[in-house]
Amino acid sequence: MTALLAAAVAGGFVPSPLAGMRPVSETDGGAFQSVPELEEGFRLLYEQKFPEGREKFLAWEKQHPDQPFGHIAVAASYLFEEFYAQGVLTSDFFLDDKKFLKGISGKPDAKRMEAFRQERDQAITTARERLKKDPKDSEGLFALTLAAGMEADVLSLLEKKNYESLKQIKEGEAQAKRLLAIRPDAADAWLALGASNYIIGCTSTATRFVLWFGGVHGDRQVGMEQLQKSADNGHYLRPYAKILLALAARREKQNDRARELLRQLKTEFPSSPLFAAEYSKVEIRMVPSQ
């Protein structure tokens, strides 16, 4: 039900510039700058080379212990690896309501999830330390947004603890709104809002009614519009927003839109087996029957 809120994360990858991005300030860290090690690490993740990408993140994290984004990136590498192992970011998963709304069959890898949570918890600790000094610290708010989104993914999609994930959804949405209020150019933050809006919007009317009373709302169209903002102007998470948007478009039978997004991803990441496979699926889907 609340899957894919991650926050979730192409040769010589250079992300698209953020629309209206403000000048880099002294307080900006890796999350809001183009850092070569992080760029390469995320590119490797999008090529499904998870251990190699993680090595880049760990090296940067060691050199910047006061920046929570290093821990967020390492945590994301474990989560994305588990997603790939479970086939989550595929049309086979998204187009199957049982899987999409109720999670994987079986259990996630225990060691991978333990490593994920260790890094996530360290990111939260570091972010809170920064926010004690400056309640408007954008690095801290961004880290809390992604930490909550990723935990919601694990609870709902991988561990099938949907109600426990609701607290994380609300936390992620609250932190994203705080961040965007002071940093409207932080387009990656729209990913958390867009994913939650879309996925909750796909649930039954009765489920949405219950969630509404808990302060959790969902709207498929609004969710896709928010994902589009990240897909257009995001930084490290721009390709992740694109694959989510493409898969959502498949669910909505917007196959032309899905094909174009997947074509872009396949072109940008030619060595990614995931993007190549999903592009082939939508191409086959759109071939006229004889």
The pLDDT value given to residue 212: 55
Q: Which of 74-88, 97-111, 246-260 has the lowest mean pLDDT?
A: 97-111
Spatial neighbors of 155 by CB under 8 A, at least 6 apart, are: 2, 161, 162, 164, 165, 168
**What are the pLDDT digits (tens) for 152-193?**
888 878 988 877 777 888 888 899 999 999 999 999 988 877
Q: Per-residue pLDDT for 100 more than 70?
A: yes
Cβ atoms within 10 Å of 182's Cβ, excluding its own: 12
Fold of the domain built from segment(s) 30-286: 1.25.40
**What are the pLDDT digits (tens) for 6-40?**
333 322 333 343 333 444 455 568 899 999 999 99
Q: What angle do CA 168, 58, 25 make, to 5 degrees?
A: 75
- How far is CA 118 from each of CA 11, 67, 114, rounded to the nearest angstrom? 31, 16, 6
The pLDDT value given to residue 45: 97
Separation between Cα atoms, residue 135 and residue 144, nearest integer Å: 12
The pLDDT value given to residue 117: 97
Residue-range domain boundaries for the chain: 30-286
pLDDT band at 217 (very low <50, low <70, confident <90, very high): low
